[in-house]
Amino acid sequence: MIDLWNWLSEPFQYEFMQRALLTVLMVSAVSAVIGAFVVIKGLAFIGDALAHASFAGVAAAFVLGGSIYLGAMIAAVATALAIGFVERRARISLDTAIGILFVGAFALGIVIVSRQSNYTVDLFSFVFGNVLGVGWGDLLLIGIMTSAIIAIVAAFYKEMLFYAYDPEMAAASGIPVSAIHYGLLALIAVAAVVALKAVGIVLVVAMLVTPAATAGLLVRRLHQIMLLGALLGFISSVIGLYVSYYASVASGASIVLVATCLFGLALLFSPRRGLLVRRRPEIPGTAKSEAIAPSR
Amino acid sequence: MVKPFQPQTTAAIDNEEAAIQVESVWAGYDGHTALEDVSFAAPRSNIVGLMGPNGSGKSTLLKVILGMHRPWQGRVRILGREIASARRLLGYTPQTESVDWQFPVTVKDVVMMGRYGRLGPLRRPTGVDREVVARCLERLQLTGLANRQIGELSGGQQRRVLIARALAQEPEVLLLDEPMAGLDAAIQHELMTLFEGLRDEGKTLLVATHDLSCTTGCFNRVLLLNKRRVAYDEPAKVCTEELLNEAFKSHLILLPVGKAYYEEHHGHD
C-alpha cells in the first residue's frame, strides 16, 4: 500500500512534474470546451491546421527573440480569420481554404527556421511537445489564455450552441452568426496554442478531438460533453505522465495514446452507441422503416 | 369571406392589415433565379398554403420573408414593418432534412432556442422562458420527451419539436417549410388542427408544401408558385386542373377538380 502510494506520488515531488500536472489540467479543460465544438461541427482538420500554422509564429518569434506563445497565437488567429474570410468570400469549400492557408503558414515557418544555423531544443519542444519543460512563465500565459477562453464560452454559450446547432435559424433570430463564426475560429486557434507546449504541433488535434469525441459517445448534451471531455482529457494526461515518467517515453505522445485507448473503450462499450452493446430496438418511424416502405 | 386578391390596386389599402406583404420580389443564388417578380399579401388570422413543385422557390420565398436571404429586388413587410424590425414577430420551422439530428441537445434545449432571440446576449433564460417552453412542449405533446436527445425521436416527433421551437418564439406570423412531408394522414390532420387553433388565436401561417392532399380543407388561401406567382386565391379557385398543371407541369396526375392526387411522400410515422 505504501509502495503504491510512493509509486504514485514520487513523480510529483519534482517541481517540473507539478507544473506539468497544472499544465495538463488547463489544457484538458480548454481542449474539451473548444473540442466539443470542433467535434460537433466537424472541424478537426481546422484544429490540426491552426496548430501547424502557429509554427510560422513560433519560428518568427524564435528568430526575433519575442514571446513564442505570442508569436504562435498571432499566427494561429490570423490564419483562422483568413480561413474564415476566404471560405465566406471566395466561394471555395472550407477544407480547401484550410488546406491552402495552413500549409502556406507552415511553409513560411520552415523558411524562417531554415535561415537559422542552430536548431534548438526549445523550438522543437513546440513541434513535438514537452510538457515536462513548461516553465512558470509558460504556465502563467497558459493560465491567462485558459481563463479567457472559458470565460468567453461561458458568456456566449447559448449563442454558440444555437449557432453550432442551426446557423440559419440563429441568424434569423438575430444572433450575430458572422461574429460567432470568426470568434469560434479564433477560439480554436487560441486553444490549439494552449495545447501546443503540452503535446506539440502534430498532436494538438488529438487533445482537441479525442476526449470530446469520447465524451460524445457517453453523454447527450453539449455542456456534458465539455465537462466529461475535460475529465477524460485530464485522466489521459495524468496516466500519460506516469507512463512517460516510468517508461521514459515522450510525454505528449503518451498522453495522446492513453486518450486514444479511452476512445477505443468508449467506442466498444458506450451504452448508447457501443459497437459491442446490444441496442434498444429501433424506434418505429425513423429513417429505417421509411426506407423499406413499399414504393408503389 | 376572403376577398379575391388584387395585387396592385389593393396593395396600399392592405398595407395596414396584411400580416405578410411581399411586393415584386426577385431573388436567387449565384445568378440562378429562384423567384421572379413575386407579390402577394397574406391577411391576418389566415392560413396561407404555399404550393409548388420541388425547386419552385418555396423555401427561398420563406427565407426572403424571414430576412435570411436578401432579395435582389422588391420588398417585404411584416404587419406593416420592415423585416429588420419585425424579427420578433416571425417564427419559422425549417425542413427536417436541414437539421442536424445527431447534435448533442435535448428536445427541451431545442425548444428553448426559440427564446434566445428575445433574450439577447449575456442573458440566461428566466422562469418566464422556461414556462413558455413548458407550454409549447405540452401543446405539441412533447412533455414526456423533453429530456430525450433529438436523434432518438421519430419523424413526426422531430417535426413537432421544430414547431414547438417556432411557437416558443411567440410569433405573430409563422412560416413553416414542408411541415407535412413524410407524415401519415392522422398526424397531418393533428397538425392542421393545431394550425387552425393558432389561426383562431390571431396568428398568420404560411405553410409551404408540395403535397396537394391537404389543401382544400384548411387553407384560407393558396399561393401557387413556380418561380413566379401562378395563382393566389381561395383554394377552390387555385386548385384547378389548369393552374395546377401550369405550376407542377408533368409532376402530378390529377383526379377530378379539387381532389388533387399526390404521388410522393406516403408518410410512415
Where does CATH 3.40.50.300 sit in chain B? 10-79+176-262
Q: Is A109 on the interface with B (CB under 8 A)?
A: no
Calculate how close chain A gets to B33, using CA atoms only, in Å.
18
Orientation of helix A68-89 relative to helix A136-155, angle to 10°: 30
For A211-241, the pLDDT digits (tens) are 999 999 999 899 999 999 999 999 999 999 9
Q: Check if the beta carbon of residue B195 is closer than 8 Å to that of residue B123.
A: no
Whether B8 shows a pLDDT value over 50: the answer reads: no
> How confident is the model at residue B218, as a pLDDT?
81
ipTM of the complex: 0.79
Picking from A162, A220, A221, the nearest residue to B116 by CB comes out as A162
Q: Is B269 on the interface with A (CB under 8 A)?
A: yes
Q: Check if the beta carbon of residue B223 is closer than 8 Å to that of residue B40.
A: yes
> How confident is the model at residue B14, as a pLDDT?
45
Picking from B63, B66, B121, the nearest residue to A159 by CB comes out as B121
Instruction: Using CA coordinates, name the residue in chain B closest to A282.
Output: B152
Calculate how close chain A gets to B3, using CA atoms only, in Å.
32
Distance between CA atoms of residues B235 and A146, nearest Å: 60
Distance between CA atoms of residues A195 and A276, nearest Å: 33
Q: Check if the beta carbon of residue A215 is closer than 8 Å to that of residue A222.
A: no
Q: Check if the beta carbon of residue A190 is closer than 8 Å to that of residue A73.
A: yes
Mean pLDDT of B1-12: 44
Picking from B92, B110, B156, the nearest residue to A172 by CB comes out as B92
> How confident is the model at residue A295, as a pLDDT?
34
- B99's grid cell: 437539421
> How confident is the model at residue B254, as a pLDDT?
52
For B167-221, the pLDDT digits (tens) are 999 999 999 998 888 788 888 888 889 999 999 999 999 999 877 665 557 889 9
Calculate how close chain B gets to A154, using CA atoms only, in Å.
9
State the distance between the two ends of chain B, measured CA to CA, in whole angstroms: 36
Instruction: Using CA coordinates, name the residue in chain B closest to A212.
Output: B104
Residue of A89, A180, A220 to mutate, testing the B interface (most B Cβ within 10 Å of its Cβ): A220
- A274's grid cell: 457501443
Question: Low-confidence residues of chain A, pLDDT below 50?
Answer: 281-296
Q: Check if the beta carbon of residue B154 is closer than 8 Å to that of residue B269.
A: yes
Q: For residue A82, what are the domain limits?
A: 16-201
Distance between CA atoms of residues A166 and B87, nearest Å: 17
Q: What percent of chain B has pLDDT over 90?
A: 47
C-alpha Rg value of chain A to the nearest Å = 21
Q: Is B79 on the interface with A (CB under 8 A)?
A: no
Picking from A169, A216, A287, the nearest residue to B92 by CB comes out as A169
Bridge-based pairing state of the strands B228-233 and B221-226: antiparallel
Q: Is A65 on the interface with B (CB under 8 A)?
A: no
Q: What are phi and psi of B148, to 5 degrees?
A: -80, 145
CA distances from residue B91 to B66, B116, B222 in whole angstroms, order as listed: 8, 12, 20
Neighbours of B75 (CB within 10 A): 13
Distance between CA atoms of residues A229 and B59, nearest Å: 38
> How confident is the model at residue B165, as a pLDDT?
95
- A28's grid cell: 484538458
Instruction: Using CA coordinates, name the residue in chain A closest to B107.
Output: A221
> How confident is the model at residue B98, as a pLDDT?
82
Distance between CA atoms of residues A65 and A73, nearest Å: 15
User: B114: buried, middle or exposed (CB in 10 Å: 19+, 13-18, 0-12)?
Assistant: buried
User: Taking CB atoms and an 8 Å limit, are B113 and A162 in contact across chains?
Assistant: yes
Whether B150 shows a pLDDT value over 90: the answer reads: yes
- Written as one letter, the residue type at A263 is F
Q: Check if the beta carbon of residue A62 is closer than 8 Å to that of residue A201.
A: no
User: Taking CB atoms and an 8 Å limit, are A173 and B269 in contact across chains?
Assistant: no
Q: Three-state DSSP class for A190?
A: helix
User: Taking CB atoms and an 8 Å limit, are A172 and B182 in contact across chains?
Assistant: no
Q: Is A90 on the interface with B (CB under 8 A)?
A: no
Find the CATH number of the domain harbouring A120: 1.10.3470.10
> How confident is the model at residue A292, as a pLDDT?
34
User: Taking CB atoms and an 8 Å limit, are B116 and A284 in contact across chains?
Assistant: no
Q: Is B152 on the interface with A (CB under 8 A)?
A: yes
Per DSSP (E only), the strands in B13-89 are 18-29, 32-43, 47-51, 73-78, 81-82
Whether B66 shows a pLDDT value over 70: the answer reads: yes
Distance between CA atoms of residues A92 and A82, nearest Å: 13
Q: Check if the beta carbon of residue A10 is closer than 8 Å to that of residue A126.
A: no
Kindly list the strands in the beta sheet with B221-226, ordered across the sheet, starting from the edge strand earlier in the chain: B90-93, B173-177, B204-209, B47-51, B221-226, B228-233
User: Taking CB atoms and an 8 Å limit, are B154 and A225 in contact across chains?
Assistant: no
To 10 degrees, the CA torsion angle through A141, A145, A147, A151? 160
Q: Check if the beta carbon of residue B160 is closer than 8 Å to that of residue B50.
A: no
Q: What is the DSSP letter of B203?
A: -
Whether B269 shows a pLDDT value over 50: the answer reads: no
Calculate how close chain A gets to B234, using CA atoms only, in Å.
30
Q: Is B31 on the interface with A (CB under 8 A)?
A: no
Picking from A161, A168, A219, the nearest residue to B68 by CB comes out as A168
Fold of B10-79+176-262: Rossmann fold (3.40.50)
> How confident is the model at residue B237, as a pLDDT?
80
Domain tally for chain A? 1
DSSP string, B186-200: HHHHHHHHHHHHHHH
In a domain, A265, yes or no: no
Please report which residue ranges of B201-250 form alpha helices under DSSP H: 215-218, 235-238, 241-248
> How confident is the model at residue B214, as a pLDDT?
56
Q: What percent of chain B has pLDDT over 70?
A: 84
Question: Nearest Cα to B205, choosing from B213, B214, B196?
Answer: B196
**A170 to chain B: which residues are within 8 Å by CB?**
113, 116
Is the pLDDT higher at B106 or at B243? B106
**A224 to chain B: which residues are within 8 Å by CB?**
104
Distance between CA atoms of residues A169 and B100, nearest Å: 12
Q: Three-state DSSP class for B70?
A: coil
Q: Check if the beta carbon of residue A28 is closer than 8 Å to that of residue A230.
A: yes
In a domain, A246, yes or no: no
Instruction: Using CA coordinates, name the residue in chain B closest to A162.
Output: B113
- A233's grid cell: 482529457
Q: Is B92 on the interface with A (CB under 8 A)?
A: yes
Picking from A162, A225, A283, the nearest residue to B104 by CB comes out as A225
Instruction: Using CA coordinates, name the residue in chain A closest to B122.
Output: A155
Q: Check if the beta carbon of residue A36 is closer than 8 Å to that of residue A104.
A: no
User: Taking CB atoms and an 8 Å limit, are A156 and B116 in contact across chains?
Assistant: no
Q: Three-state DSSP class for A91?
A: coil
User: Taking CB atoms and an 8 Å limit, are A172 and B67 in contact across chains?
Assistant: yes
> How confident is the model at residue A113, as a pLDDT?
83
Contacts of A264 (CB under 8 A, 6+ apart): none
In a domain, A218, yes or no: no
Distance between CA atoms of residues B235 and B223, nearest Å: 9
> How confident is the model at residue B187, as a pLDDT?
84
Q: Is B248 on the interface with A (CB under 8 A)?
A: no
User: A57: buried, middle or exposed (CB in 10 Å: 19+, 13-18, 0-12)?
Assistant: buried
> How confident is the model at residue A110, as a pLDDT?
86
- B155's grid cell: 419523424
> How confident is the model at residue B85, as a pLDDT?
85
Per DSSP (E only), the strands in A135-259 are none
In a domain, A101, yes or no: yes
> How confident is the model at residue B252, as a pLDDT?
54
Whether B26 shows a pLDDT value over 70: the answer reads: yes
**B63 to chain A: which residues are within 8 Å by CB?**
168
Chain-centre distance for alpha carbon A21: 17
Whether B49 shows a pLDDT value over 50: the answer reads: yes
State the count of interchain CB pairs (< 8 A) between A and B: 87
Q: Three-state DSSP class for B94?
A: coil
Whether B114 shows a pLDDT value over 80: the answer reads: yes
pTM of the shown model:
0.82
Q: Is B84 on the interface with A (CB under 8 A)?
A: no
Q: Is A169 on the interface with B (CB under 8 A)?
A: yes
DSSP string, B98-122: GS-TTSS-BHHHHHHHHHHHHH-TT
> How confident is the model at residue B253, as a pLDDT?
52
Is the pLDDT higher at B20 or at B7? B20
Residue of A158, A163, A175 to mutate, testing the B interface (most B Cβ within 10 Å of its Cβ): A158
Instruction: Using CA coordinates, name the residue in chain B closest to A293.
Output: B268
